[in-house]
Structure 1
């Protein structure tokens, strides 16, 4: 853990970090990939943590309008919320945080993010940075810098919770500290950052300024 470290705020990615939406996302994207003649197995690992419009743009498919296709995907994902669940311990962990000290910073569009949060029972924070709030998505640092600014802090004083390489790179570029959530990974990610499987065995404390420290629960193994 971050022994002796305190943070002004926590910035949370959503998919894979607070909620498990992999089944829903991969159903929708698999259908889209097959329709465009892509190798589904090779393609699916590229979708996580990145805005849909950038994923599609990077493919450079002939005759494909990324904005139009991203909108179709948004509607399909919003209509498929089956199996969306909170990451273990996430709800209680978020409910223990002061409202002014955390934000969700997601590559999902706001409407989809809100739908998935409702489906998973995740509390909705006062500050959400969504896909449409930045011109450059992850791995650019813009989203985490904006989330910190909206909370009134510098990203360098914040702890980012992430699960995907693009998001981790964005947090690093913003010079934030990083906590990796491995809950949805088939195998723990190889990372130099602190990593946990979920939130059940961690807790937070606040100092007199309202800054946050994260530490293992005393009864945790």
Structure 2
């Protein structure tokens, strides 16, 4: 993979999704959601692929289940996920890559509620950035671009000057709609996903250089 895999122009900032992108919490999420789906008579195998990358309340709301309060159900799921963090781990190389970035030049942009995001980051031994855009910070979650636009704005950058690291289709669509550059992280993908964007398995061979002109990301070797 040549260095031109990444933008050659300096980047103003980097924006990272969390689950599946810098940490792996899929096992935890799928345990909780599987129990919830079974309790509501859903086809678990068909349902689970729909939960990734979007806010819990929107996952539940689009099912339109009779007698189900999406806000209450999403809150209960969050509490269950808060207790199930024993096997959450960092994506290889993610921690050292993030720690090499200027703190004012990167953010996490996640569909998880803030409390859950901070809990999962701590469980994986990952740094909490100065800026974390969480589920409750936007009116519309991914695939709407609001979260990435907000993250870029709060870092003092245009989204078009940012590079987004994502793993889920909803997040990729959100970054596309925001006009950002995109790198797809495939570490937790069960099957190949064709997006038209460059992809990396993990961060172990990535290198970063930052100066007054911006951030440059390259791949070693």
Corresponding residue number in structure 1 for 2:77: 73
Corresponding residue number in structure 1 for 2:147: 143
Indicate whether 1:215 and 2:193 are aligned: no
Corresponding residue number in structure 1 for 2:35: 31
> In structure 2, what is the Cα distance between the partners aligned to 1:106 and 1:216?
25
Give, in angstroms, the shift of residue 208 of structure 1. 3.1
Whether the 8 Å CA contact 2:145–2:174 is kept in 1: the answer is yes
Q: TM-score, normalised by structure 2?
A: 0.96
Give, in angstroms, the shift of residue 3 of structure 1. 4.8
> In structure 1, what is the Cα distance between the partners aligned to 2:157 and 2:194?
29
Q: Secondary structure at the match of 2:182?
A: strand
Indicate whether 1:119 and 2:123 are aligned: yes
Whether the 8 Å CA contact 2:20–2:188 is kept in 1: the answer is yes
Whether the 8 Å CA contact 2:32–2:81 is kept in 1: the answer is yes
Q: Secondary structure at the match of 2:65?
A: coil
Q: Secondary structure at the match of 1:139?
A: coil
Indicate whether 1:83 and 2:87 are aligned: yes
Ranges in structure 1 where 5+ consecutive residues have no aligned partner: none
Corresponding residue number in structure 2 for 1:52: 56
> In structure 1, what is the Cα distance between the partners aligned to 2:52 and 2:10?
29
Q: Secondary structure at the match of 1:167?
A: helix
Aligned residue pairs: how many? Answer: 217
> In structure 1, what is the Cα distance between the partners aligned to 2:177 and 2:117?
24
Give, in angstroms, the shift of residue 206 of structure 1. 1.8
Change (3 A) 1:3 1:141: closer
Q: Secondary structure at the match of 1:193?
A: coil
Corresponding residue number in structure 2 for 1:5: 9
Corresponding residue number in structure 2 for 1:93: 97
Change (3 A) 1:144 1:3: closer
Whether the 8 Å CA contact 2:107–2:130 is kept in 1: the answer is yes
Give, in angstroms, the shift of residue 187 of structure 1. 2.9
> In structure 1, what is the Cα distance between the partners aligned to 2:54 and 2:212?
37
Corresponding residue number in structure 1 for 2:107: 103
Q: Secondary structure at the match of 1:59?
A: coil
Corresponding residue number in structure 1 for 2:196: 192
Change (3 A) 1:57 1:3: closer
